Amino acid sequence: MNVLNASGWKPGTPVPAGDDFSTVSGNRGLMLEEPLIFEIGTTETTGIDLPEPAADGPSRLGKHARTSAIGLPGLSEPETVRHYTRLSRQNYAIDCGIFPLGSCTMKHNPRLNEKVARMPGFADVHPLQPVDTVQGALGVIDELAVWLIELTGMHSVAMTPKAGAHGELCGILCIKAALQARGEDRRVILVPESAHGTNPATAAFAGFTVEGIPADANGRVDLAALTGRLGPDVAGVMITNPNTCGLFERDMKAISDAVHAAGGYVYCDGANFNAIVGRVRPGDLGIDAMHINLHKTFSTPHGGGGPGSGPVVLSEALSPYAPLPFTERQADGHITLVEEETAGDRHPQSFGRMSAFHGQMGMFTRALAYILSHGADGLRQVAEDAVLNANYMLRSLEDLLDAPFAASGPCMHEALFSDARFAKSVSTLDVAKALIDEGFHPMTMYFPLVVHGAMLVEPTECESKASLDQFIASMRAIAERANAGDENLGAAPMLAPRRRVDETAAARKPRLVWREPAA
């Protein structure tokens, strides 16, 4: 039966431009309208009744008593619970469906990991506890470090960096310290166009001059351009592998050999390690330093400014310069924490500390639980399934969406498309907004910069074929409309809690404080 609503729109057909489906309540079915908490409550009331203090009695607050209104709304408990529950229903999360953000690896976080992270001795551990009282926690850190060294084929690992960019800085500071120990003042870091955007920022922050290296026609590092630029002023190269085009750098070993021959070091951005874990050991490719995003490869929570964790694996050449503190297992099995005051002559070349305390305990426990659950063979399958899913996505859409590097072979963990086939009236942003109407979070847009109107899709290994097929069907329907120049795409999203906002005005004139509207 074809059901039309009051406006004449039939489900399954494009929503007419300008149709807001207005209701008296502001709700759209079960997508409830939710005003600001200031608009629900009032500053003159509270959610509970409190006895008035005696007018002539002493104040229990003393000098802490308020001298002016606090300006917060008073709500009852049901109002408060309903407000935040309704807000939570407007979130899109990995627990709702596929999260196709390319480069971010938004994979499922197993609930087993969460259970382990909440165990007593992990969840309530304090960084200032005596070492003898946290042997279990230190044991987790030490065992995770062993796994990371084994999986990457590197010599050592620094566990203190708090996130990916923090890990990048750690690796670059190790390189800087190694060059200083050699008495060399090399100031240039080479960064390919296909590297993550944080790489040049990190190098600049560490005091280096950044020079770009172009990509070749196949989306990989131009080997001739890179080797031609090497010289006595080059400290090293920061390369992302697999790169941001979703491609494995086939010349990685040749790049490393050339950089080493010129006296430099090789930093590898390990954000995409999920695509090669268990399959490729970066140490075998001549990498000197690489950070590992535990939230990407080993399923710990992602985003929101933390909690993050970005351990850095180091080659034998850079290990002496690693930051403190680090764990050290004694012959009797006891684990100590080597700090500046206990390092003595054993670690004299360390560049110092990355943070006040050792690392992110919750991330370590989650990552180790994930690793032990899979084992070496399971982690290998993680990479294989991630690559399989991405290639299924690529080949299922390349007839409708331009895939600039599809002809050069399979992709790795993410599929890259461009806006080349869209009608001139349609943009990548329009397609992303239309995905919201389909019930999906949009893919990564306009990145990497080497592809115009880029759409970067990373399905991860967690998605089933049925899940991928549903997303692909929506993308195909939207791509057909984009290629045909459907003007209704410019009005998307039509079915979200809010229509398209003025993003430029929001960025330039943000309203960070709620003000009572003028009467």
* Whole-number pLDDT of residue 321: 94
Q: What is the CATH number of domain 112-367?
A: 3.40.640.10
Can you state the angle between helices 135-152 and 361-397, rounded to 10 degrees? 30
Angstrom distance (rounded) from CA 222 to CA 238:
14
pLDDT digits (tens, 9 = 90+) for 288-340: 999 999 999 999 887 655 568 999 999 999 999 999 888 888 889 898 888 87
- Whole-angstrom Cα distance, residue 466 to residue 367? 27
Q: What whole-number percentage of the chain has pLDDT above 90?
A: 64
Provide the pLDDT for residue 9. 47
Distance in angstroms (rounded) separating the CA atoms of residues 334 and 135: 7
Give me the pLDDT at residue 390, please: 98
pLDDT over 90 at 104, yes or no:
no
Q: Is residue 17 pLDDT above 70, yes or no?
A: no
pTM value? 0.88
The per-residue pLDDT for range 36-84, each reduced to its tens digit, is: 888 888 888 788 887 777 777 777 788 888 888 788 888 888 999 999 9
- Mean pLDDT, to the nearest integer, of 440-452? 94
- Return the pLDDT at 360: 87
DSSP output for 318-362:
TGGGPPBPEEEE-TTS-EEEE-HHHHTTSSTT---BSSSSS--HH
pLDDT higher than threshold 90 for residue 29: no
Coil, helix or strand at residue 104: coil
- Edge-first strand order for the sheet with 209-213 is 156-158, 312-314, 289-291, 265-269, 234-240, 188-192, 209-213
Grade residue 518 by pLDDT with cuts at 50, 70 and 90. confident
* Average pLDDT of span 238-246: 95
Instruction: Give domain limits for the chain.
Output: 112-367, 377-506
Q: What is the pLDDT of residue 22?
A: 60
pLDDT of residue 74: 87
Q: Does pLDDT of 86 surpass 50?
A: yes
Asked if pLDDT for residue 513 goes beyond 80, the answer is yes
- pLDDT band at 156, cuts 50/70/90? very high
Side chain identity at residue 40, one-letter code: I
Q: How do residues 194-218 score in pLDDT, each as one tens digit?
A: 888 899 999 999 999 999 999 999 9
Half-sphere exposure of 202 (CA within 13 A, CB side): 28
Q: What is the pLDDT of residue 484?
A: 97
CA dist 285 and 295 (Å) reads 24
The hierarchical CATH code for the domain 377-506 is 3.90.1150.10
Residue reference for tokens 């049901």: 78
Q: What is the pLDDT of residue 475?
A: 96
Beta-bridge partner residues of 191: 212
Q: Judge whether residue 5 has pLDDT over 90.
A: no
> For the segment 119-145, what is each residue's pLDDT rounded down to a tens digit?
998 999 998 899 999 999 999 999 999
Q: Please tell me the distance from the alpha carbon of residue 208 to that of residue 176, in angstroms, as a whole number.
A: 9
pLDDT digits (tens, 9 = 90+) for 354-410: 888 887 899 999 999 999 999 999 999 999 999 999 999 999 999 999 999 999 899
Name the one residue in this structure whose structure tokens are 């080597």. Answer: 338
User: Which residue, 464, 334, 466, 482, is CA-closest to 400?
Assistant: 482
The answer, yes or no, to whether residue 21 has pLDDT greater than 80, is no
Of 46-50, 158-162, 288-292, 457-461, the one with minimum mean pLDDT is: 46-50
